[in-house]
Amino acid sequence: MSRNTKIGIIICDRYHRCAGGKCFRALKEREGAFSIYGGDEDVELVGYATCDGCPGGNVEYCGDEMVANGAEVIHLATGMLVGYPPCPNIDTFKRLLEARLGVKVVIGTHPIPEKYLKLHTTLGTWKAERWKPLLEPTMVDERLRKDYD
pLDDT score, position 41? 85
Report whether 5 contacts 43 (CB < 8 A): yes
Return the number of other C-beta atoms located less than 10 Å from residue 96's C-beta.
Answer: 16
Fold held by 4-147:
Rossmann fold (3.40.50)
pLDDT score, position 121? 95
Report whether 138 contacts 32 (CB < 8 A): yes
Query: Mean pLDDT per 10-residue run, the chain (149 residues)?
Result: 87 93 96 91 95 94 97 97 94 96 97 96 94 94 95
pLDDT score, position 2? 66
Nearest CA-CA partner of 144 in 8, 25, 15: 25
- Give me the residue spans of the domains in the chain: 4-147
Nearest CA-CA partner of 103 in 134, 141, 65: 65
pLDDT score, position 3? 80
